[in-house]
Amino acid sequence: MDNTNITRREFVGTVSKSAAALGVASLVSPLYALEPTGTGYVYDDRMLNHIITAGHVECPERLVKIQEKMKSTGLEKQVVNLPLFTDPMTYIKNIHSSTHISSVQKIPNTCVAAEVAAAGALGAAKAVCEGKVRNAFCAIRPPGHHAHNTGKEEGFCFYNNVSIAVKYVQEIFKIGKVLIIDWDYHHGNATQDTFYSDGTVLFFSTHNWNDYPQTGDPAKTGSGAGAGLNINVHLAPGEGDDAMKKAWNEKLLPKVQSFKPDMVFISAGFDSRIDDIKGKLKVTDACFAHITKLALDIAKTYSSNRLVSLLEGGYNVDGTASATVTHVAELIAGSTGAGFMHTLRRCDRAFINNTVLYLPEAARSVREIRITSANGSIVKTVTRSVIDNGKVYLNRIGLAAGSYYVTVGMINGENQSFGFVLTK
């Protein structure tokens, strides 16, 4: 098992102690001041060796064309190449039975590619949770969202990469609630089945219900602890951007507001794109850019920007490459530190930079500000008299060195809370 994981809290604690030892006065916020930048990218040539049958649509050229497009657009120089996870089998076993794994391991080349794909998903999730990058895209194959434990290929899938990565971040990084967005043309039935009664995962899938695997009934909304957390949206052949946007606006976004995910994953299947060989929808690259931005907004608002996207389907190799680089370009645009701070300074969310607490909407909608210790005891209630043009200078209000949480009470809307560490 990989034992090099550290949590964001451990990292912040280490940095804070180092600053104190050096006599440096600094205020570090684990959510904002140390916010990572950059988009991670996962790829490995060994995934090209996997071939189901000669001429099969799930072919190595899918990744070849993506790599070519990444290079020709210059995006390959704008991403952070991430290493694979060193021991994927430990976490593959959280999702797949030993019988299933043994069957896959008997398939030459495919066994390696499938394990590499899972290692890529885990490596990306690890990098995002450790704060090495803000978000990540995994150019991987074979895809995974149809893979159960049948001991054979299902819908071109062998290991359920996204489910493996989700279970990993929940176990190792104690990520509580996860949103999985699946925009593949085909319903992610295995992902749905994994988390259908889980209660910690909101699964949102847009797909053609009548095509393979003919699951994805909109009436299937989850059971037990997962009741209401499974959202299936049927898109009929010929539908495109408007139907996709409507699904997000009417089904996903309202649910996200109450669910509040701690991390976002995307099963990015581009067979829902116009002119795909297997898909019958007409979603354009412009729409993929739009919904990528929405996913980034969700991650920014609720998930400390943590987002990992994994390639699923997409069988028009040129079209898939085009949609992929459009998607990656938006991830890059949403991962830069400058862009992040610019967005925050529009003050839709409170944040801390250096020793200053910036309040949303120039403090007009702020009811109160409470600072509590790590054990929940109120240390300071900030009065309006110390708010200076929408800012509170925390080094002027008499706080001792230590760990704190600040809660900004809003007149309209939910309170905003996050932790910080003050060293002197």
pLDDT of residue 393: 81
DSSP string, 353-400: ETTEEEPGGGGTTEEEEEEEETTS-EEEEE-GGG-BTTEEEGGGTTPP
Domain with CATH 2.60.40 in the chain: 8-31+349-423
pLDDT of residue 235: 98
Residue with tokens 């708010």: 387
pLDDT of residue 25: 28
Query: Residue 109 region, left (φ>0) first, then alpha (ψ -120 to 50), else beta?
Result: left
Count the Cβ atoms, other than its own, within 10 Å of residue 9.
14
Can you tell me whether residue 330 is helix, strand or coil? Answer: helix
In contact, 379 and 372? CB cutoff 8 Å: yes
Length in residues, the chain? 424
Strands 263-268 and 391-393: unpaired
Residue with tokens 């043309």: 185
pLDDT of residue 21: 32
Rounded-to-integer distance, Cα 304 and Cα 85, Å: 22
- In the residue annotation, 146 being an active-site residue is answered as yes
Domain with CATH 3.40.800.20 in the chain: 39-335
96, 100, 145, 146: the active-site residue = 146
**Helix-then-strand count for the chain, H and E:** 12, 16
Structure tokens at 97: 């039975």
pTM above 0.85, yes or no: no
Local confidence pLDDT in tens for the 424 residues of the chain:
333 333 333 333 433 333 333 222 233 332 333 356 799 999 999 999 999 999 999 999 999 999 999 999 999 999 999 999 999 999 999 999 999 999 999 999 999 999 999 999 999 999 999 989 999 999 999 999 999 999 999 999 999 999 999 999 999 999 999 999 999 999 999 999 999 999 999 999 999 999 999 999 999 999 999 999 999 999 999 999 999 999 999 999 999 999 999 999 999 999 999 999 999 999 999 999 999 999 999 999 999 899 999 999 999 999 999 999 999 999 999 987 533 333 333 445 677 766 678 787 645 677 788 898 877 788 889 877 778 777 888 878 888 877 778 888 877 767 777 777 766 5
Count Cβ atoms within 10 A of the Cβ of residue 189 and give its class: 0-12 exposed, 13-18 middle, 19 or more buried: buried
Domain 8-31+349-423 has CATH 2.60.40: yes
Q: Which helix (H) or strand (E) holds 102?
A: helix 98-104
Rounded-to-integer distance, Cα 282 and Cα 263, Å: 29
Question: Which of 154, 152, 90, 86 is closest to 120 using CA atoms?
Answer: 86
Domain 39-335, CATH homologous superfamily name and number? Histone deacetylase domain (3.40.800.20)
pLDDT of residue 423: 60
pLDDT of residue 364: 62
Rounded-to-integer distance, Cα 418 and Cα 353, Å: 13
Question: Which of 74, 182, 168 is closest to 127 using CA atoms?
Answer: 168
